[in-house]
Amino acid sequence: MRAETAGITITGTAQREAWHSKVLPPVELVAAGVHSVPVVFPGNPMRYTLSYVLLDGDECVVVDPGFDSDEGHGQLIAALASLDVGPREITGIVATHFHTDHLGMAARLASGSGAWIALGNNERRHISAFEDAHEESALDQTRMRAWGVPEERVPEAAMTPESLLDMRRLADPDRRLGDNDILSVAGRNWRIMDTPGHTPGHICLWDDAGELVLSGDHVLPRISPNVSLEIRGDTDPLRRNIESLQKIAGNDHYEVCPAHEYRFRGVGHRARVLEEHITERSREVLAVLSAGASTVHDVARQLTWSRGWASLGQLQFRLALSETAAHIRYLATSGIHPGVPGLVAAP
Ligand SMILES: [Zn+2]
């Protein structure tokens, strides 16, 4: 992950100040009927999710309600109360993708209100409600061994039954949203854009009349969102992500409302910078492969990591491996390098 904000205009200045002072940003009115609400993401360096509350008469739709914790739930309910909305009055929930810091709280909010829950057409989580988390975790350990992870680090790299159970508890959607669908709420017609990459069914919501885009984790102002070869993910997620960056790159004057960090203008510039980072990283991966690295782990340990390879633990270690695997797959499907044995495609 690399941090830079040159070339974009930061519009969420209070959000950026809060980011630097390590406090929660304020609840803000972004545009008529569109409010941003920070919801804590405990124990994660992203610190919080920016949820968006879309209000319109009797309708209240929450986009990316955030991670499910009592503290985060209290923050969201307090913000709604300040807007004169009770928890039972939530009518709909949209998650830009299935990750726990986006979809996590949907089940709790829906059980108190009966709100519908919507996800992108192509979104799928790592485990279904019918699968055994222990079996899946064992399979994932096998995958990590095939990626060349030393035996003593396999338990750390593989998904644990606990994390898979957390994922299995996520709400099932009642509605699916696909490319160019229109969601009318808050007096605005939100156009859905499929933006696979970070996850297979990630979506962004565009308000063309109001020149706003809710970008989820697809485009963030400061860091590069993680793109990984994952269980049941895309088989070539990096290619999907590059296509999605090119797809979102128009409309530089729109205000981008991301799910983390702060609002900004300059989505085209930002998308190009993110694409350049991918290209640079691919070159680095290719150099290591060409020098003879023979497994995903062997490649990953020779790449540069901002916090240093040795300090990557657990989740960061796993993400480093699956990001490297995504690059190896991309180089292989581009016909640039045959890849490494043991890079098993996610089913
Ligand atoms: Zn996120």
| pLDDT tens, per residue, the chain with 347 residues | 344 567 899 999 999 999 999 999 999 999 999 999 999 999 888 999 999 999 988 899 999 999 999 999 999 999 999 999 999 999 999 999 999 999 999 999 999 999 999 999 999 877 777 788 899 999 999 999 999 999 999 999 999 998 888 888 899 999 999 999 999 998 899 999 999 999 999 999 999 999 999 999 999 999 999 999 988 889 999 999 999 999 999 889 999 999 999 999 999 999 999 999 999 999 999 999 999 999 999 999 999 998 899 999 888 999 999 999 999 999 999 999 988 877 744 43
Which domain covers residue 218, as residue numbers?
Answer: 11-125+170-283
Q: Is residue 94 part of a domain?
A: yes
Structural domain count, the chain? 1
Instruction: Supply the DSSP symbol for 89.
Output: G
Q: Are 191 and 182 in contact (CB under 8 A)?
A: yes
46 Cα–ligand 1 center, Å: 8
Q: Is residue 340 part of a domain?
A: no
Q: Is residue 199 part of a domain?
A: yes
Q: Is residue 192 part of a domain?
A: yes
60 Cα–ligand 1 center, Å: 22
Give the DSSP per-residue string, 40-63.
E-TTSTT-EEEEEEEEETTEEEEE
Q: Is residue 332 part of a domain?
A: no
Express each pLDDT in 18-73 by its tens digit. 999 999 999 999 999 999 999 999 988 899 999 999 998 889 999 999 999 999 99
Question: What is the residue type of 198?
Answer: H
Q: Are 205 and 94 in contact (CB under 8 A)?
A: yes
260 Cα–ligand 1 center, Å: 7
Q: Is residue 4 part of a domain?
A: no
Neighbour-count burial of 21, counting CB atoms closer than 10 A to its CB (0-12 exposed, 13-18 middle, 19+ buried): exposed
28 Cα–ligand 1 center, Å: 19
Q: Is 251 helix (H, G, I), strand (E, B) or coil?
A: coil
Using a cut of 0.75, tell me whether the model's pTM lies above it: yes
Q: Is residue 329 part of a domain?
A: no
231 Cα–ligand 1 center, Å: 18
Interaxial angle between packed helices 267-290 and 237-248, expressed in degrees from 0 to 180 and rounded to the nearest 10: 160
Q: Is residue 47 part of a domain?
A: yes
258 Cα–ligand 1 center, Å: 9
CATH of the domain at 72: 3.60.15.10
How many helices, marked H, and strands, marked E, lie in the chain? 11, 14
